Structure 1
Amino acid sequence: MKRIYLSLSLLLLVIIGSRAANFKFAFLTDIHITAGDSIPYNDLARSVNQINDTPGIEFAIVSGDITNIGDRQSMEVVKSLLDRLNVEYHIIPGNHETKWSESGVTDFARVFGSERFKFEHDGILFMGVNSGPIIRMADGHVAPQDIDWIKTELDKAGKEKPVIFITHYPLQPGDVDNWYDVTDAIRPYNIRLVMGGHYHKYMQLEYDGIPGILCRSNLRAKEKTGGYSLCEVTPDSIFIYEHKIGNVPTRKGAYSMTGMNYPKSNAGYPRPDYSVNKEFPQVSEQWLVRSGYEIFSSPAYWDKKVYVGDDSGAISCYSATDGRKQWSFKSDMRIIGTPAADKNVVVFGSADMNIYGLNASDGRLLWKINTEAPVLGAVTIRNGIAYIGGSDHKFRAIDIKSGTVVWSYDGVEGYIETKPLVYDNLVIFGAWDKNLYALDKKTGKEVWKWHEGKPGRFYSAAAVWPVAANGKVFIADPERVLTAIDASTGKTVWRTKESMVRETVGLSEDKRRIYSKTMNDSVVCYSTTTDFPEKIWASNVGFGYEHAPSMPVEKEGVVFGSTKNGLMFGLDAHTGKVLWKHKVGNSLISTLVPLSKNKCLFTATGGEIGLLVIDYKINKHK
């Protein structure tokens, strides 16, 4: 019996030893290739060559920002280089693929197969997810459907399986707005390390106590050569090395593969603060629906119904009274742009390369227009005509009843995400190509094109929804400049950097004032009647650092605004006095749709749809 026992013990040791064999993998991040730019191309090519020449590397992981502007051509360049690896690689997008993307981030999956990955190697589970943000300028966000996927896959793997988790952003406040949803989802399992990039340097962090590391960029930066991370997994540790091209690897971190490595309780770690809701009890949620998918656009309202598109490609109709879903129609890919509804027709574009017209009462398809690229633009309807731009360098005017294209302008140099402005005889919109366009409303012929300021698409007035009054068009761009443009000539009337606004502008109901969010705490108000930038008031709302393109909207003397971290607020339109605040979740709230000064529809990136009710009689003394 003793001899048999010893034999079984030796066999067990052999089995354990084989499952816990040492292995190495390469970790690449922040590659930032632009097609035609030889420096980042050569940095990646040299990394690929060195990985192939390094013995023992069994696979590679790539954690995003592989391109500079998220275009398909650059992604295909990256793929052509990564395909030279002698080992398999697993890849997720970064914010440069998700924020600037003419395809609405759909090209990433077309090129690489998926926006997330899961695989097992030598008994260790590796998982990676997209951490956004999709199109909008905001904090990172892990989609609710991805969090559900994480929970499902970890549950399948079991609580003993060691897991290495990969994102692009660090999972911490200020980087990912719903970091806590992710850390709470993975905490019950055997997470050994969370790996990422984004900051282009090594940083050892903790995500609500869970060990994390950020790794160097593949770019050479100010050095002579670039590099990547070489990771060695042993039965008891994972070691992270920096491997500069042509150099010997140097250790940057070491993490345990055994035992408890973080608290199993989330107690004591920071969470979003909702105390503002107690400060302003006059605001409540009449109803709130959780769609289960990311939402990137504002709601559309017509005939007591609310229309919302989401990341699953569905557009759904809800009762404005109680939030009950009336119907849902499914396109083939995510919906980015805000829909519009009128005359019992709802119109929207989809990343599936179609523009749709549906019966607004029951969701039946009335017509569909196929385009040559994803359609990310928001819709404006005037007098039975829908105006919408796409990523096929075209802007269209469509009869909403028949689906007939009235005219099409094909002179757009970039892609369109904004909501077009119809003003007098013009249709005005920006694109990610530096230009603001003004077209003849009836014919679609170009009247003027405007650009001023820094060159390049990153400074385009492309996310802002323009407004106009008193012969002037008003925009705010990523250069932190508020601008007035002569509507008839396209010439600049004035520009000001005084208030450091970014990509937001709203118009008063009497058309005498415009509003814009600054990038720190405040909303500012300027006159529309003067030929110079006359500031009327500035209000410290106290929302902190802010850069989300959600527009201020005035209704019945109240300016409604929202932020990237779930806060909504109301200001007195004439003085800027803060009337109320309310926080729903911690993700971006898109441009609000006030129905009156007492009621307001909202959508959030986290998938929430709801109706706020404000009772101004409560706390009237404040």
Structure 2
Amino acid sequence: MKRNWLILLLLLICLAPLTMQAQNKFFRFAQITDIHFAPGNPNPTEDLLRTVAQINATDSIDFVLVTGDLTDNGDRLCMERVKSCLDLLKAPYHVVLGNHETKWSESGCTAFADIYGGERFEFMHKGFLFLGFNSGPLMRMAYGHVVPQDIRWMIAEMEKAGKDTPVILVTHYPMLDGDVDNWYDVTDAVRPYNVRLFIGGHYHRNRQLSYDGLPGILMRSNLRDADGKPGYGIYEVGPDSIRVFTQRIGEPKQQWAAISLTHSYYDHQGRAEKYPDYSVNQAYPQVKATWTVQTGVGIYCSPATDGERVFVADDLGCLTAYNLKKGKRLWSFTAERRIVGTPAVAEGVVVFGSADKRVYGVNATDGKLLWTLDASAPVLGAAAIADGAAYIGASDHTFRAIDLKSGKLLWAYTDVQGYIETRPLLADGKVIFGAWDNTLYALDRQTGRECWKWTHGLSGMHYSPAAVWPVEADDKVFIADPKRALTAIDLRTGKTVWRTFQSQVRESVGLSEDGQRVYAKTMNDSIVCYAAQGGEARQLWATNAGFGYEHAPSMLPEKDGIVYASTNDGLVCALDGKTGRIIWQHKVGNSLINTVVPLEGQRVLVSSTDGTVTLLQAKK
């Protein structure tokens, strides 16, 4: 008997390390996603607080992942209120942005980093590397997008951890065609590493997906479901699998997926299952790139040019000048935060705003700083220059006129209710712009005195005429808002002349050089043209350009009788302004093309969110 006890004791001693190892391998974490906190609606707050309380009452939750759409409007106050709820968690938590934090952001997405400590996260837990990053889109209505600098960061972190280290990647969007425009860049970049799982939200329902073979999980929204129950996710990581559960408040958790940690789901040497189709470029071989620069940084604004140089601002706060003929880099000036508003240049001065709460004037020749003007919030508006003055709007509810040479404030209009991102229209002695408060403003250019305000009477900031760049002809201002109406407004009085839903346009307009025609882009395939003259909406032509679903706010400028349109998936279209006949199309990439800048001789300056800057040339 004594011998049996001795054998048993020896066996327990031998098995103890293995038991401890198995216990150390196991861990559990929670996921909260799509909270959609909104002022005036107590339900999302109540749902989140109930979720926090139940997570706190659950044994062995090591940490919590919060995967975006914390708020409806992306504003600082709402994000701070969400944080005050998340701070009640006993376990540490890690947060990534959702599209509601990136598209509608009066801070240019800088408030998120201020509040939560950064736009991405990295940590190791029991041998697993967790990487969370933004999947966009930033400040523009478009598909999701992972910027080049975040892809480089992921690769560097996985290299540092070692290729055998299991990795879990955390985003808001799923890495799928139709959700993220450069999904293939992401899956190709991470494929050589030991990626075990992508975790996200966005769909508001449970989905088990494959991203070019890499396993993906989307979790239901935290918002209460049809039965009035909030919910969240629980992940149990063991030695050979990750089990995925939905946890409704007050109910037992329900497993609905499992991911193997021993099975190889994808070929580490393979490639994405499909790539974007560039065959349109073969159909129009007369279009070539004179030069192309891959900046490696996201770009959310159009280029500006003085005829000799091209000025491009980017996500890292750099304004870079290139030689117009050859694309050679000339100089770079760096602000402290990202730049999302298109710069303007005149009289040797480049003017732009930054999310660092400043307006800058720099020397166009050498990039030397000439002056700065401080605002009290990020400056996200595009600049316009005329008669020695620069005009620009900011997120401190203020629109400013600035002396171009000295940077001295000429006047400030402080009665804007929302934040400003548009480029103002300068016409008839007025400066006209929209803001994210449902309002179009007209101010006296010399004094800043309010001339009129226009609103279509709809509640909710998402219907604001704020992303469109207004144009003017025949004593009318033309806009297209997110309500999908092309609208003509009396330039003198601010009264609606006509408003049509015929073409389902959104946030994109343009004007012919002779002021006779207004152009707009619809949300599905078509570019349309309306008469600028007269008191009623009159469509002149509509052309099916075949670009599919489209919601990017890129304007339609005309040069030498050719109107140019660009899309959220990298396509540039050139059409005859009078007839709508397609002259050529060219696909630059698969990401959002900002409003293009046409030059003489069918040359077009192009920038895109994937960091591409190029000069296209169409030969006759």
- Which residue in the other structure is 1:619 paired with? none
State the distance in 2 between where 1:121 and 1:19 align. 14
Please state how far the C-alpha of 1:225 moved relative to its aligned partner.
2.1
Alignment counterpart, residue 150 of structure 1, candidates 138, 150, 154: 154
SS at match of 1:57: coil
Q: Distance in 2 between matches of 1:266 and 1:598?
A: 40
Partner of 2:330: 326
Matches within 5 A, 1:192-341: 192-267=196-271, 269-341=273-345
> How far off its partner does 1:264 sit?
2.5
- Secondary structure at 2:547 match in 1: strand
1:263 CA drift (Å): 2.6
Structure 2 distance, partners of 1:423, 1:318, is 30
With over 3 angstroms needed to count, the CA separation of the structure-2 counterparts of 1:453 and 1:209, relative to structure 1, is: farther
> Among the aligned pairs, what percent are the same residue?
55
TM-score normalised by structure 1 residue count: 0.96
Q: Which runs of 4+ in 1 moved over 4 A?
A: 9-13
Question: Structure 2 vs 1, CA of residues 563 and 506 (structure 1 numbering), >3 Å: closer, same or farther?
Answer: same
CA distance in 2 between counterparts of 1:281 and 1:611 reads 15
Aligned AA (1:542) = G
- How far apart, in 2, do the equivalents of 1:464 and 1:313 lie? 23
Q: Secondary structure at the match of 1:154?
A: helix
Q: Which residue of 175, 188, 194 corresponds with 1:190?
A: 194
1:36, distance to aligned residue in structure 2 (A) = 4.5
Cα distance, 1:14 vs structure 2: 3.1
Q: Residue 620 of structure 1 aligns with which residue?
A: none
Residues 532-565 of structure 1: CA deviation (Å, up to 9, x unaligned): 0100000111111000000011000111111000
Q: Unpaired runs of 5+ in structure 1?
A: 617-622
- Of residues 473, 476, 500, the one that matches 2:480 is 476
Q: Is the 8 A contact 2:471 2:509 kept in 1?
A: yes
Given the alignment, which residue of 528, 537, 541 partners 2:541? 537
Structure 1 segment 453-602 matched on structure 2, within 5 A = 453-602=457-606
**1:429-462 per-position Cα deviation (integer Å, ceiling 9, x unaligned):** 0000000000011110000000015321100000
Deviation, 1:222, is 2.6
Q: Does residue 396 of structure 1 match 2:403? A: no
Alignment gaps of 5+ in structure 2: 1-6
Amino acid aligned to 2:452: W
- Equivalent position SS for 1:246: coil
**Partner residue in 1 for 2:63:** 59
Report the AA paired with residue 238 of structure 1.
Answer: I
2:156 is the counterpart of 1:171: no
Cα-to-partner distance string for 1:118-158 (whole Å, 9 max, x where unaligned): 11111111111100011000000001000000011111111
CA–CA separation in structure 2 for the residues paired with 1:228 and 1:148: 31
Q: Aligned ranges for residues 3-152 of structure 1 at < 5 Å?
A: 10=14, 14=18, 17-18=21-22, 21-152=25-156
Is 1:286–1:613's contact at 8 Å kept on the other side of the alignment? yes
Aligned to 1:442: 446
1:342 aligns with 2:346: yes
Instruction: Give matches, 1:361-440, under 5 Å.
Output: 361-440=365-444
Instruction: Provide the rounded CA distance (Å) in 2 between the counterparts of 1:364 and 1:265.
Output: 47
The structure 2 residue matched to 1:360, chosen from 360, 364, 367, is 364
- For 1:354 and 1:268, the matched residues in 2 are separated by 42
Letter in 2 for 1:198: H
- Whichever residue aligns with residue 347 of structure 1, its letter is V
Deviation at 1:266, TM superposition (A): 3.7
Q: Report what 1:606 is aligned to.
A: 610
Q: Give the partner amino acid of 2:328.
A: R
Question: Matched residues in 1 for 2:271 and 2:142: separation?
Answer: 27
Cα pair distance change 1:144/1:11, threshold 3 Å: farther
CA contact (8 A) 2:552 2:567 kept: yes
Q: State the alpha-carbon separation in 1 of the partners of residues 38 and 553 from structure 2.
A: 26
Q: Distance in 2 between matches of 1:91 and 1:460?
A: 29
Let me know the Cα RMSD of the aligned residues. Answer: 1.6
TM-score by length of structure 2 reads 0.97
- CA deviation vs aligned residue, 1:60-106 (integer Å, no higher than 9, x gap): 00010001100000000111011110110011000000000000000
Letter in 1 for 2:617: V
